[in-house]
Amino acid sequence: MIETLDARRTSEQARDLGIYDEDGFVESAFLSRIEDLVEAENAPTLKSLVEPLHESELGDILETLDNEPRQGLVRLLGEDFDYSALTEVDEAIRLSIVGAMPNPQIAAALGELDSDDAVYILEDIEEDDRKEILAALPFRERMRLRRSLDYPEESAGRRMQTEFVAVPPYWSVGQTIDYMREDEDLPTSFAQIFVVDPMFKLIGAVELDRILRAKRLEKIDEIMHDTRHAIPAEMDQEEAAQIIEQYDLLSAAVVDRDERLVGVLTIDDVIDIVQAEAEEDIKRLGGVGDEEISDTVLTAVRSRFTWLLVNLATAILASLVIGLFDATIQHMVALAVLMPIVASMGGNAGTQTMTVAVRALASRDIDLRNAGRIIRRESLIGLVNGVLFAVIIGLVAAVWFQDAGLGQVIAIAMIVNMIAAALAGILIPLVLDNLGADPALASGTFVTTVTDVVGFFAFLGLAAWWFNL
Amino acid sequence: MIETLDARRTSEQARDLGIYDEDGFVESAFLSRIEDLVEAENAPTLKSLVEPLHESELGDILETLDNEPRQGLVRLLGEDFDYSALTEVDEAIRLSIVGAMPNPQIAAALGELDSDDAVYILEDIEEDDRKEILAALPFRERMRLRRSLDYPEESAGRRMQTEFVAVPPYWSVGQTIDYMREDEDLPTSFAQIFVVDPMFKLIGAVELDRILRAKRLEKIDEIMHDTRHAIPAEMDQEEAAQIIEQYDLLSAAVVDRDERLVGVLTIDDVIDIVQAEAEEDIKRLGGVGDEEISDTVLTAVRSRFTWLLVNLATAILASLVIGLFDATIQHMVALAVLMPIVASMGGNAGTQTMTVAVRALASRDIDLRNAGRIIRRESLIGLVNGVLFAVIIGLVAAVWFQDAGLGQVIAIAMIVNMIAAALAGILIPLVLDNLGADPALASGTFVTTVTDVVGFFAFLGLAAWWFNL
């Protein structure tokens, strides 16, 4: 929902109220005050303290509080609790708050919210409860929410707002302005109005500043423009966000299969989607899936376990490679001392290339067909850095173990592994992407498997051959 | 700049023109066609092909083309080249295009752009050239751009648009609408108007939909609201973006030190900032700094070299730890075979915790003071996964080397290292953040240093003691 600025709800007041410290964290003094008031069951003072807050401020407070005072706060606020704050908190917290409420109370609260916020809260609630809540809503609300919920998860239809202004093309600018002045059932705030035919088929749109600059007698169809960026309700939210972002739109019409206008996707939803997708990439690259900081220990253990298990398998694979050369190591323990260096440098270089590749894929700067240039570039970077670090580590090893041959062996192994790292770092994400897998999710494991195996094999194998062990 | 939808410039047409394939990449057939036309110096056909494109579409094409046809395309388009496309490409590409142009041509082009786009292009140009370009601009334009450029890099003042609508508080709604109908010098598109006193001090704002719903005789100061979210021009762009995002604003006033209105920051700029900051985090976590895929090999080698050098130092540190136990390894080569497993599992578990911590810091969900809960949570996750993997790897090692003692040693080392990984993964980002360093940039190295050193030391030290070697 696009929000009109409201004098009562401002960050400066929030600062006056002492909610945030200078680093932007929720002030601990403010939190203690809330905790004390909840403890004392002092509902009136709590209400006066929380009432001027913006939904996002209340959301921050809910996230920072421990579970008990959080539930107490919601309970004491009762009808004065601003349910849109639920759209600002992690899923686990949202579900624990909603789970503690009777369904009729949730229904009454959802009726007050914009449709996109209501859907956001409803979609995580379990089937049975959801049905009961929907049944308790007025007919029109129920139909609106059901329609949104019928669209697939993470689709534009789920994120759209179903409140919008639509007028026929033959209206004049004056008529349109008068309609907006008189109609009570308008969205809280909007940046453009839509033009539809009698069947509600979308035929155009007009930005508000265009209407303000037009003469009262001009017809809407003279000042409207085509809406070719209209978004099918089934479209994935990420794709929809990319369109709005690429064309710098303030909002876009969402249409059903018959091209009828069913909702509007606004740019502030796009920011949330962009944030969520970037967050997803970072977490997947770090091997923590979709984990949130408020997830329970059990959930986190489970989601991380899978990733660590895959890593264990690849680590054992690397150990098998080392095991091939146990006799060599026994003759020359220096190899055991130095071998992690080759593997570690390869792992890091491979991660660098992979990070660049994953980002380039996400922003569609490369794909398999035009990848030649990037592959050459990364190989060259790998070669140059490989040679530089070969010289450094070669000298270090030769001096450390007083053995020029060992220096030469590790130098060559370093070059080999740095080139392998570059190739693995670019090719693995490209192939995964081409197979339809998310390159952010799985590339890391495969890349470090390659650099470990190649690193150990090149270094130990070369040493075995060189020293005839 | 917020852009009004324009029938001529649409993604559907882009698809009709064959610019993008179904995966959203620039279609290679379209690229070849452009390359052929550039080769043939066929300016008129090129112009008709490129003219209907949106600036972001032209930007995508510029990024995908090789340097020679890219320069040729810009040269052949001449005055018809849409300079706002330069705001859509990587810095290296922007500089190479601008670098090939005479300064007067750049000046003429910048005069056509919105001030925020012009500043975006100007700020990367070298001092001398920039002065020459500014000198060639009309007085008013020059003053506007100079003022923006006087603000620090990455500040709100640099990103703001200096075109906006401002009216006095005593005007009526009707007067305001008439002014907007008649004045020619308005921004391309806008979502709110600002209210200022005779000294241009900001006193309020009104959204366009509020104006449209008001009666013509109402006074502006009756329908305006306070603008407490006004952004100081010196504020860091990231902080400004967070305010706009938190309060779901469509745009925010930018004010100078005397609280005079100097510009407006729009939500589409916020999306770009949000994207850029997420990108920065991902790249820093991956150890590639601010590298872009279009950077030269030399630039990339240099920026990655530093990171790899730090990694080399930590890898040598880990080798020194192994070196302490060379006699132990000589007696029992199985230790050399198994030791990378302990280190690798710790490294991965530490990276998981660190990823969660870095994201929680970025979204201000934790800081040093309220970190107790998170530290307990991560330690517990580390302990549980540590025990699970201790059992697995203990059994594997015992069976593999037919040595129950070895299985017990590696199991205990695994638990120790997983707990160390959890603590390092959470504490290192917290401390770095508290010292004012970017936790995304440096945490990775420190965390893997800890897990390597602890992993090798725990495993080899325990083995030396256990087997009395």
pLDDT higher than threshold 80 for residue B458: yes
- Show the CA angle centred on residue B44, arms to residues B93 and B41, nearest 5°: 60
pLDDT of residue A2: 39
How remote is the C-alpha of A152 from its chain's centroid?
A: 18
Domain A166-274 has CATH 3.90.120.10: no
Partner-chain contact B340 A319, CB within 8 Å: yes
Q: How far apart are CA A260 and CA B166, in angstroms?
A: 38
User: Is beta strand B261-266 parallel, antiparallel or unpaired with respect to B251-255?
Assistant: antiparallel
pLDDT higher than threshold 50 for residue B58: yes
Comparing CB atoms, the residue among B54, B190, B351 nearest residue A247 is B54
pLDDT of residue B396: 95
Amino acid at A126: E
Q: Which residues of A touch B380 (CB under 8 A)?
A: 297
Comparing CB atoms, the residue among A212, A312, A381 nearest residue B211 is A212
Q: Taking Cα atoms as reference points, which of B339, B389, B412 lies closest to residue A305?
A: B389
Instruction: Give CATH 1.25.60.10 domain extents, chain B.
Output: 11-159
- B300 vs B457, more confident: B457
Amino acid at A192: Q
User: Is beta strand A261-266 parallel, antiparallel or unpaired with respect to A251-255?
Assistant: antiparallel
pLDDT higher than threshold 80 for residue A469: no
Mutation for testing the A interface, residue in B21, B331, B348, B443 having most A CBs under 10 Å: B348
Mutation for testing the B interface, residue in A55, A180, A291, A319 having most B CBs under 10 Å: A319
Reduce the secondary structure of chain A to three states and give it as a string: CCCCCECCECHHHHHHHCCECCCCCECHHHHHHHHHHHHCCCHHHHHHHHCCCCHHHHHHHHHHCCHHHHHHHHHHHHHHCCHHHHHHCCHHHHHHHHHCCCHHHHHHHHHHCCHHHHHHHHCCCCHHHHHHHHHCCCHHHHHHHHHHHHCCCCEHHHHCECCCCEECCCCEHHHHHHHHHHCCCCCCCCCEEEEECCCCEEEEEEEHHHHHHCCCCCEHHHHCECCCCCEECCCEHHHHHHHHHHCCCCEEEEECCCCEEEEEEEHHHHHHHHHHHHHHHHHHHCCCCCCCCCCCHHHHHHHHHHHHHHHHHHHHHHHHHHHCCHHHHHHCCHHHHHHHHHHHHHHHHHHHHHHHHHHHHHCCCCCCCCCHHHHHHHHHHHHHHHHHHHHHHHHHHHHHCCCHHHHHHHHHHHHHHHHHHHHHHHHHHHHHHHCCCCHHHHHHHHHHHHHHHHHHHHHHHHHHHHCCC
Partner-chain contact A308 B267, CB within 8 Å: no
pLDDT of residue B4: 38
> Measured between alpha carbons, how far is residue B349 from residues A119, B122, B454 in Å?
36, 45, 13
Instruction: Give me the torsion for CA of A290, A293, A297, A298, rounded to 10°.
Output: -20
Pick the CATH number of B297-466 from 1.10.357.20, 2.60.120.260, 2.60.120.200, 3.30.460.80: 1.10.357.20
Amino acid at B317: L
CA-nearest residue to B389 within chain A is A309
Q: How far apart are CA A413 and CA A407, in angstroms?
A: 10
**In 3-state terms, what secondary structure has residue B81?**
coil
Instruction: Give CATH 1.25.60.10 domain extents, chain A.
Output: 11-154
The H-or-E segment that residue B345 falls in is: helix B334-362
Q: Residues A7-19: what's their mean pLDDT?
A: 48
Partner-chain contact A355 B287, CB within 8 Å: yes
Query: B133-180, pLDDT tens digit by residue?
Result: 999 998 888 988 998 999 998 899 999 988 889 999 999 998 998 888
Q: Taking Cα atoms as reference points, which of A278, A101, A96 lies closest to residue B285?
A: A278
Comparing CB atoms, the residue among B228, B278, B343 nearest residue A11 is B228
pLDDT higher than threshold 70 for residue B10: no
Query: A153-185, pLDDT tens digit by residue?
Result: 889 999 998 888 999 999 999 899 888 888 777
pLDDT of residue B276: 81
Partner-chain contact B312 A286, CB within 8 Å: no
**Residues in contact with B147: Cβ distance below 8 Å, sequence separation at least 6, in sequence order:** B157, B162, B262
Does residue B452 contact residue B320 with C-beta atoms inside 8 Å?
A: no
**pLDDT confidence of A11, banded at 50, 70, 90?**
very low
Q: DSSP character for B160?
A: -
Q: Which residues of B touch A24 (CB under 8 A)?
A: 239, 242, 364
User: Is beta strand B192-196 parallel, antiparallel or unpaired with respect to B166-167?
Assistant: parallel
Angle between helix A334-362 and helix B267-285 axes, rounded to 10 deg: 160
pLDDT higher than threshold 80 for residue A187: no
Both tokens of residue A190? 């909007």
Both tokens of residue A269? 């939803």
What fold, for B166-285? CBS-domain (3.10.580)
Q: Which residues of A touch B208 (CB under 8 A)?
A: 191, 208-209, 212
Please list the residues that pair with A231 across neighbouring strands.
A254
**In 3-state terms, what secondary structure has residue B233?**
coil
Q: Provide DSSP, B290-335.
A: T--TTS-HHHHHHHHHHHHHHHHHHHHHHHHHHHTTHHHHHH-THH
Partner-chain contact A348 B207, CB within 8 Å: no
Q: Residues A232-239: what's their mean pLDDT?
A: 91
Q: How far apart are CA A204 and CA A220, in angstroms?
A: 9
Comparing CB atoms, the residue among B212, B287, B337 nearest residue A180 is B212
Comparing CB atoms, the residue among B56, B307, B349 nearest residue A246 is B56
CA distance A25 to chain B (A): 6
Angle between helix B139-150 and helix B127-135 axes, rounded to 10 deg: 150
**Residues in contact with B352: Cβ distance below 8 Å, sequence separation at least 6, in sequence order:** A286, A287, A288, A304, A307, A308, B425
Does residue B406 contact residue B395 with C-beta atoms inside 8 Å?
A: no
Does residue A223 contact residue A210 with C-beta atoms inside 8 Å?
A: yes
Does residue B461 contact residue B454 with C-beta atoms inside 8 Å?
A: no
How remote is the C-alpha of A273 from its chain's centroid?
A: 6
Q: How far apart are CA B87 and CA B119, in angstroms?
A: 10
What is the strand order of the sheet B202-207 is part of? B166-167, B192-196, B202-207
Query: B435-452, pLDDT tens digit by residue?
Result: 888 888 778 888 988 999
Query: A345-401, pLDDT tens digit by residue?
Result: 999 999 999 988 888 887 777 766 668 888 898 999 999 999 999 999 999 999 999
Query: B369-393, pLDDT tens digit by residue?
Result: 668 888 898 999 999 999 999 999 9
Instruction: Give CATH 1.10.357.20 domain extents, chain B.
Output: 297-466
Q: Which residues of B touch A282 (CB under 8 A)?
A: 278, 281-282, 285, 355, 358-359
pLDDT of residue B11: 43
> Could you say which architecture CATH assigns to the domain A11-154?
Alpha Horseshoe (1.25)
> Could you say which architecture CATH assigns to the domain B11-159?
Alpha Horseshoe (1.25)
Please list the residues that pair with A74 across neighbouring strands.
none
Both tokens of residue A272? 């949330």
Does residue A444 contact residue A287 with C-beta atoms inside 8 Å?
A: yes
User: Is beta strand B231-232 parallel, antiparallel or unpaired with respect to A192-196?
Assistant: unpaired
Q: How far apart are CA A201 and CA A21, in angstroms?
A: 50
Both tokens of residue B201? 């001090």
Does residue B398 contact residue B404 with C-beta atoms inside 8 Å?
A: yes
Does residue A392 contact residue A455 with C-beta atoms inside 8 Å?
A: no
Share of chain A above pLDDT 70, in %: 94
Q: Taking Cα atoms as reference points, which of A52, A133, A69, A123 lies closest to residue A94?
A: A123
ipTM above 0.90, yes or no: no
Locus of tokens 């920072």: A64
pLDDT of residue B315: 92
Mutation for testing the A interface, residue in B250, B259, B305, B314 having most A CBs under 10 Å: B250
| Radius of gyration of chain B, Cα coordinates, nearest whole angstrom | 30
Instruction: Give CATH 3.10.580.10 domain extents, chain A.
Output: 166-274
Q: Taking Cα atoms as reference points, which of A228, A270, A225 lies closest to residue A253?
A: A228
A236: left (phi over 0), alpha (psi -120 to 50) or beta: beta
Q: How far apart are CA B468 and CA B463, in angstroms?
A: 8
pLDDT of residue A20: 81
Does residue A161 contact residue A264 with C-beta atoms inside 8 Å?
A: yes
User: Is beta strand A261-266 parallel, antiparallel or unpaired with respect to B166-167?
Assistant: unpaired
How remote is the C-alpha of B306 from its chain's centroid?
A: 21
How remote is the C-alpha of B173 from its chain's centroid?
A: 41
| Radius of gyration of chain A, Cα coordinates, nearest whole angstrom | 30
Locus of tokens 């996964």: B385
pLDDT higher than threshold 60 for residue B356: yes
**Residues in contact with A163: Cβ distance below 8 Å, sequence separation at least 6, in sequence order:** A114, A115, A186, A187, A188
Work out the burial of residue A29: count CB atoms within 10 Å of its CB; fewer than 13 is exposed, 13-18 middle, 19 or more buried: exposed
Among A304-313, B16-25, B76-85, B157-166, the minimum mean pLDDT is found in B16-25
- Show the CA angle centred on residue A117, arms to residues A111 and A122, nearest 5°: 75
Query: A96-122, pLDDT tens digit by residue?
Result: 898 888 888 888 888 888 888 899 889
The H-or-E segment that residue B112 falls in is: helix B103-112
Q: How far apart are CA A306 and CA A291, in angstroms?
A: 13
